[in-house]
Structure 1
Amino acid sequence: MKKILFFFCFSLLFIGNNAKAQLAQNDSTFVYVNGEGTFIRLGKGEGTVINLLSTLQSGAQFGRIDSLSKKTNNTRMSINLARIALTATNARHKVSAGFVTDFTGTSPILEGWIGFDVHKRVKLVLGQKQTQTNNRLAMADERYAQTMAQSLAGKSSDGILYGGLMHNFVGATREGGLFVETNFNIHQMRIYPSLSVTTGEGQNFFTSQPSKQGFKYGGRLDIMPLGDFTKNNAFIGHDLYREAKPKLVVGVAASYNQKASSPIGSETGLITGIFDNSGVATLADYRKLVADFAFKSNGFALVGEYVVSTVNGKDLFTNAAATSQFTPEVASTYYNLGSAYNLQSSYVFKSGWAVDGRYAIIKPEFGVTGSKIVDQKWATFGVNKFLKNNALRIGINTNYIEINSPVAKTKKWINNFAVQILL
């Protein structure tokens, strides 16, 4: 915690080194914008902008589980999101920083990073932030998620928020490491390439790292043939900004996590019992490939996603004597291996009302007993009302989940009601 606070305070100190003098200038401003928070501009010449945005989302969930001829009902109320986000940029020094707290998770710090514009179109970011190697909607800020539901520090405890993709193949949406982001145009076409080298252990950047584990290497390429989207609309389920002209983005992402020690490569030390041919404890490499698209026009949105994950590891065994082979089938009981498809659509009316639907299919690589991934089908329908430029949002959604494992068939109905306030 002390490392994080020192890291971010140093960033802000560098960005606002002339803040006292600028506050006395007539061109410094302090403005609140509905749904976007408070903006503090410290002088036109310096170009320092600080944005403070807080979020509170409360909800109630009603569910029923039908498994092995037994029905179980459950009800719970919770605070889904409780966050304070602070970002700062300085155009003169070409530096930026971000800091996000999360009071609903196991760790209060969700993001902490500093960025440098090494070129007018190239940005270098160091720290913990939203990773770009996941499916498109897992890259969206949870405040703008199509489905409002309970989450845990950038993770989904039941998968509702991301239709099963998050729960099965993503783990944490934030990772710590080094990120390179760039963008350029080819005529009307907008292109966003990015690369990253992270710890491969999710939200653990500010903690000590195991010495024998490798890094996670990843990248993403987004192509927008019809030009750029409004703000961050390319990574939101709804057409929240009602694009005046049709917009399309097609993206691909890939990652290679060396010696992943958790089933999705987002935590530390959860996997044991893998050995090399010398009997030394080791781990397998976790690979993931993502393809997705989003089309938006005048309130209509259509989003599709595909994820597939595999492992790589030669001459691996499940015993120190190196007699029990670590086969792909056995690997599926250690790592989340398989594929998933998600297709969803929504429409936002001019009045702020929005309706949406979603269908997702999750398939294991091998349907063996003990597989981390099992056959699943997810169907969701939701209604939302956006008020005051998204400063206030009220939503309900119903979710049907069908899970077919080798030992049991389970059906779930999960219904959420939530209210979100952005200040």
Structure 2
Amino acid sequence: MILLIGFLSTIGSSAYSQDESNNTFGKGIQLVASDSSFSMKFGLRFQSLYQGSLNVVTDKWNDQFLIRRARLKFEGFAYDPSLSYKVELGLSSRDISGGDLDQHGNTSRIILDAVLKWQFRENWSLWAGQTKLPGNRERVISSQKMQFVDRSLLNSRFNIDRDIGIQLHHSSKIGNQAVFQQILSVSMGEGRDITTNNIGGYDYTLRLEYLPFGEFTGGGDYFGSDLKREKSPKLAIGVAFDYNDGAARQRGQLGAFVQGSNGNQLSTDLSTLFIDTHFKYKGFSFMGEYANKQSSEQVFVVLDDFSTLKYATGNAVNLQAGYLVDKSEWAIRYTQVNSDDLAYSSLKEETQYTLGYSRYIVGHSLKLQSDLSYSDKALGDNLVTFRVQFEISF
């Protein structure tokens, strides 16, 4: 009995004690080995979203609450600071859904990133593993650091997402301040968490970026809003081209596998061009993107229920701007998506207008965001959509 009382007392005192560290909010928990042989930063974040949509034709209102994203992230270096790593895991249903296919081993797609980065020379690094491809800027910007509640229609229809392979990164200065960056990637072409053999050929991506006024403060070319309030104008111009040889999925790395009811797999070569720009100055920010995706063959599958599987080909433009005052920002966005051929493309013409408001309590680590959108559809009923979401990131 005396031992039991002592044990319970120890638990009680531990429950009300606390450990203090030098870690700060939004920067994760950081550890470094005593012999400096490795480091690890651990982070947790999630987004809680309310979304409601009004069909302007039928006056029907549909809404939902959901955990939009929930992520665990680990990063640091191993053995030597020149050898770094990143692992990111998805926990929400939206993060891991879609894995109930043979190509994913009929399991959930939990792994988002698992990549090793070796800086073998100054301004040169080689990446190997699964991570985001160097496609459009909006996609490469973390979902934690967006200017609106979520990314645009351009991104959802055209982005090339994540894949498994290798990437070569290089950066150099031109003159006194301009920066020129290049990324070359060779990957499998079917997207993340694939367990089967390569279906088509490989995927090749090249991205070039030019920053005429030098680097943005704190990497600001890859997060939404001018939270750093750039004291001088900063501009980034990017061009990316992706060629997916023998693409088996509707959008290359994303979408359904284009298979008939008998399991017969179709493929076509997909070519995607991205052109984007990002500008920031004294709280004002502007980002523009253009995307164009084409296929080498016009093919589609008709299923037993007479529905079809088509490749997503066409073009889109997205323009967005915002102005930050103190910790609050109003932003506007215009997006237009067009199909190149209604008979062979899964895309439908759609134009969306969005007004957004964000309150950055602790930057992108603790914020409340909302937006109101009007979607004008060439085929289908127009929609008015309202969303509000909070993000917390440790």
1:388 corresponds to: 362
- Structure 1, residues 171-209: CA drift from partner, whole Å, max 9, x if none? x6222111111111112111110000111112135x222
- Structure 1, residues 130-189: CA drift from partner, whole Å, max 9, x if none? 2112x21111100011122xxxxxxxxxxxx2220122112x622211111111111211
CA distance in 2: counterparts of 1:335 and 1:142, whole angstroms: 26
Aligned amino acid, residue 129 of structure 1: T
Is the CA contact (8 Å cut-off) linking 1:65 and 1:72 kept in structure 2? yes
1:8 corresponds to: none
Residue 290 of structure 2 is aligned to residue 309 of structure 1:
no
Tell me: CA distance 1:318–1:371, structure 2 relative to 1, closer, same or farther (3 Å): closer
Q: Match for 1:36 among 27, 30, 42?
A: 27
CA distance in 1: counterparts of 2:45 and 2:346, whole angstroms: 34
Q: Match for 2:118 among 113, 116, 119?
A: 116
Deviation at 1:318, TM superposition (A): 7.3
Matches within 5 A, 1:259-298: 259-267=246-254, 270-272=257-259, 282-298=266-282
CA distance in 2: counterparts of 1:247 and 1:91, whole angstroms: 36
Is the CA contact (8 Å cut-off) linking 1:34 and 1:389 kept in structure 2? no
**TM-score of the two chains, using structure 2 as the length reference:** 0.83
- Structure 1, residues 66-104: CA drift from partner, whole Å, max 9, x if none? 4xx433211100111211111012583520111101111
CA distance in 1: counterparts of 2:221 and 2:300, whole angstroms: 43
Q: Match for 1:339 among 315, 331, 338?
A: 315
2:6 corresponds to: none
**TM-score of the two chains, using structure 1 as the length reference:** 0.77
Is the CA contact (8 Å cut-off) linking 1:399 and 1:415 kept in structure 2? yes
Report the secondary structure of 1:162's partner residue: coil
Report the secondary structure of 1:213's partner residue: coil
Runs (5+) with no aligned partner, structure 1: 1-28, 149-160, 274-279, 320-331
1:157 corresponds to: none
1:56 corresponds to: 46
Deviation at 1:268, TM superposition (A): 7.9
Residue 346 of structure 2 is aligned to residue 379 of structure 1:
no
Report the secondary structure of 2:158's partner residue: helix
Is the CA contact (8 Å cut-off) linking 1:31 and 1:40 kept in structure 2? no
Deviation at 1:42, TM superposition (A): 3.9
Aligned amino acid, residue 139 of structure 1: V
CA distance in 1: counterparts of 2:138 and 2:300, whole angstroms: 36
Q: Match for 2:156 among 158, 167, 183?
A: 167
1:11 corresponds to: none
Deviation at 1:317, TM superposition (A): 7.2
Report the secondary structure of 1:233's partner residue: helix
Residue 69 of structure 2 is aligned to residue 81 of structure 1:
yes
Residue 372 of structure 2 is aligned to residue 398 of structure 1:
yes
Runs (5+) with no aligned partner, structure 2: 1-19, 97-108, 302-307
Is the CA contact (8 Å cut-off) linking 2:299 and 2:310 kept in structure 1? no
2:328 corresponds to: 353
1:19 corresponds to: none
Identity of aligned residues (%): 23
- Divergent runs of 4+, >3 A: 45-49, 90-93, 316-319
- Superposition CA RMSD, Å: 2.4
Is the CA contact (8 Å cut-off) linking 2:144 and 2:364 kept in structure 1? no
Residue 85 of structure 2 is aligned to residue 97 of structure 1:
yes
CA distance in 1: counterparts of 2:352 and 2:309, whole angstroms: 22
Deviation at 1:298, TM superposition (A): 1.4
CA distance in 2: counterparts of 1:336 and 1:268, whole angstroms: 9
CA distance in 2: counterparts of 1:268 and 1:399, whole angstroms: 24
Q: Match for 2:128 among 120, 126, 131?
A: 126
- Residue correspondences, number: 351
- Structure 1, residues 379-400: CA drift from partner, whole Å, max 9, x if none? 1111111113433101111111
